[in-house]
């Protein structure tokens, strides 16, 4: 089937795709950064739906409706807090991408956008996080027989440059 991977600089809450990924905290009840922006724009119905989910463990992912967002769905995933790489952070970050893509595939979604998971307040180094993201998504798509467009939605020019550099090598 057809797959595509790209990187853009944009506000993830403005993307009209099948799903956007929320870099959530374990409660799924909103927070700062991308999580707060998604909750604010999606409206109070998202918080009500998230209250029913019972939180989410690091590396796992859960799906909700998009509510007031242009995206149909939100895939919430909890990235690891950076602790110098000694706490299984790389495997947990890869699991965020794998489990989010697994939900997208299970729901037969055709397009999904990821923020730069764990690179904000959770402190994951951007270059390492981007490499894990691109490698994990590429590996998933190589074994996936459906159609899926994956977008890395970057907030900063620095993040965009990191992702585009990695994607150019593929």
Catalytic residue numbers?
35
Give the DSSP H or E segment for 23: strand 19-24
Round to whole Å and give the CA distance between 167 and 160. Answer: 10
Round to whole Å and give the CA distance between 132 and 135. Answer: 5
Round to whole Å and give the CA distance between 113 and 140. Answer: 15
Q: How many residues does the chain have?
A: 170
Q: Which structure tokens are listed for 121?
A: 């307040």
Other CB atoms closer than 10 Å to residue 152's CB: what's the count? 26
CA angle 125, 129, 131 (to 5 degrees): 125
Q: Check: CB of residue 77 under 8 Å from CB of residue 23.
A: yes
């Amino acid at each position: 089937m057809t797959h595509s991977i790209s990187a853009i600089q944009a506000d993830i809450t403005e993307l009209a795709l099948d799903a956007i990924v929320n870099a959530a905290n374990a409660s799924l009840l909103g927070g700062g950064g991308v999580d707060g922006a998604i909750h604010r724009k999606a409206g109070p119905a998202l918080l009500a739906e998230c209250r029913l989910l019972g939180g989410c463990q690091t590396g796992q992912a859960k799906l909700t409706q998009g509510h007031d967002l242009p995206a149909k769905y939100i895939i919430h995933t909890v990235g690891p807090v950076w602790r110098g790489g000694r706490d299984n952070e790389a495997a947990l970050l890869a699991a965020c991408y794998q489990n989010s893509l697994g939900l997208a595939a299970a729901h037969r979604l055709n397009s999904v956008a990821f923020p730069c998971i764990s690179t904000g307040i959770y402190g994951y180094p951007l270059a390492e996080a981007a490499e894990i993201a691109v490698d994990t998504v590429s590996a998933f798509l190589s074994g996936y027989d459906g159609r899926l467009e994956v977008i890395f939605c970057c907030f900063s020019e620095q993040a965009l440059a990191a992702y585009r550099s990695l994607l150019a090598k593929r």
